Amino acid sequence: MSRIAYVNGRYCPHNGAAIHIEDRGYQFADAVYEVCGIRDGKMLDEEAHLNRLDWSLGELEIPWPMTRSALQVTMREVIRRNRVRHGMIYLQVSRGRARRAHSYSAHMNPALVITATSTPRPQNAQVLPQPVSVITQPDIRWQRVDIKTVALLPNSMARHAADNVGCREAWLINAEGKVTEGSSSNAWIVDQQNRVRTHPTNGRILNGTVRQALIRLAKQEGIEVSEIAFTPQEAYEAKEAFLTSSNALVQPINQIDGHKIGNASQNEISQQLWRAYYIENQIAP
């Protein structure tokens, strides 16, 4: 079955989907996006994604392309038409089409694109994935990464650097020498006091939807969470390290810059949070 995309009011074959060459998302990265995981045909953290979309659009003063409820109906229709049971849905809202100029009108029609992609289902959804390795890279992004824009060139370059040395992800280091987040994920460690630590939401990271869920679930599980930034050295010395994203959910890390993290065969807190997330979302094993 050929894939189906939604573009500005039309469902069309994915291979023929297109926007105008003067769309500001293409020329100025003047657009925001969301990626929502799909398990058993259901969108994960749907409300959190839409809340963050509302935040991003509001910060850039881009109007919603349709009502929230209409967008939810459209997203479900894209999933249905592509017969996705396990995978992800991507939506992008740009400020719209206009003659190329740095300034823009306050009365533009936003452009909306939605696609859905199937991915293989894990053999055992309740078993923590195999650990991966990461490297560190300088954080050279703009100062409002809390807005989920499509301006991802620095992220892409960091991820490419990781790929070149056989690593899954790159953790970004700010001017103060602290880990902010990954190129496409949030960064976490479990320190020697068994505290789960991750960078605070102060404009220097994207407040991931899985991140939000895990902070809430950790409190329910009696796990202490400290939103305190950590250094690469603290990460090297951690008991556990892991990343979270809408795609990976919870992914343990066994090496950072070649330093082995804790006991690679024991990721007890990561495992506890992974199971709590799966149980809450009623994801079948």
CB 148 within 8 A of CB 56: yes
Task: Report residue 98 as tokens.
Answer: 């206009």
- Residue of 42, 148, 178, 239 marked active site: 148
Predicted confidence at residue 123, as pLDDT, reads 63
Query: Phi and psi dihedrals of 178, rounded to 5?
Result: -110, 150
Query: In whole angstroms, what is the distance from residue 112 CA to residue 114 CA?
Result: 7
Tell me which residue has tokens 């991140």: 211
226 pairs with which residues across the strands? 197
Residue-range domains of the chain with CATH: 4-118 (3.30.470.10), 132-280 (3.20.10.10)
Separation between Cα atoms, residue 112 and residue 264, nearest integer Å: 43
Residue 148 is a catalytic residue: yes
Write down the pLDDT at residue 121: 81
Q: DSSP label at 15?
A: G
| 169-to-35, 62, 134, 138, 220 alpha-carbon distances in Å | 18, 31, 5, 13, 29
Return the pLDDT at 35. 98
Those residues of the chain that have pLDDT short of 70 are 1, 123, 125-126, 264-265, 285
Sheet holding 4-7, edge to edge: 10-13, 4-7, 111-118, 87-94, 31-39, 42-43
What is the β-pairing status of strands 249-256 and 259-260? antiparallel
Distance CA 57, CA 55 (A): 6
